[in-house]
Amino acid sequence: MNFTFKIIKKEDLQENHRKFFANKLKEQGKVKGNLLKKADRCKMICIVTNEKEPVAIGRIKQKSESTFSKEKADIPEFRNIIDWELGYLFTNAKFTGRGISSKIVKLLLDNNGDINLMATTEIESNPAMVRILTKNGFQQYGKIWRSAIHQNSLGLFLKLNK
C-alpha cells in the first residue's frame, strides 16, 4: 500500500485540507468544538492518504496554556519555555501498526527545527503514542490528570531543545 504524506503550512491551508482534517477529528471522537476551525489554529498540519482514501492526520499548533495549570500537569514553570504543541495525531484503525503516526511525528519535527514542543497523550490507553513521543526525544513531566472529554488519564510530554 502506498501512502502519501503532505505537510501543509498555515499560509497554504485550503478548504479541502480543513475538511480532511475535520473529518479525521470527527472519526477520532475526542475533540470538541468547531472541527472545521481546528486546522486554522495550526502552524502546520500533516495529512496522509493512500490511493483511495484519507488515512491519518497530525499537527503543530500554539500550545494549550491550561495544560500547565495546577488542575492538569501542574508545572507552571514550563509555561514560558514552550510555544508549540504537537498533536491531533490520528490514524484510521484499519491502517494502524504501519508506522504512520511515527512518520507524521518525524515529518512535523523535521519541518520545525529545534524548537521546544509539548504533546499530551493518553497514558494507559495509548502506549504506542507514548513510545513514539519518547523515541522522538519527548519526556513526561508533571502529574497525570483525567480528560474532561473521555475520562482517560493524560500525561504531558516535553521536547526541550533550547
For the segment 80-134, what is each residue's pLDDT rounded down to a tens digit?
999 899 999 999 999 999 999 999 999 999 998 889 999 999 999 889 999 999 9
29 pLDDT exceeds 80? Answer: yes
77 pLDDT exceeds 90? Answer: yes
Backbone angles phi, psi at 48, to 5 degrees: -125, 130
* pLDDT-above-70 percentage for the chain: 99
Domain count, the chain: 1
Backbone angles phi, psi at 87, to 5 degrees: 175, -160
Residue 121 and residue 158 in contact, taking contact as beta carbons nearer than 8 Å: no
Q: What residues contact 97, with CB distance under 8 A and at least 6 apart?
A: none
Read off the pTM.
Answer: 0.93
CATH assignment at residue 120? 3.40.630.30
Domain that holds residue 54: 4-159
Note the helical H segments in the chain.
15-28, 35-38, 100-110, 127-135
Question: What is Dmax (Cα atoms) for the chain?
Answer: 46
Query: In angstroms, rounded to a whole number, what is the distance separating the alpha carbons of residues 83 and 15?
Result: 26
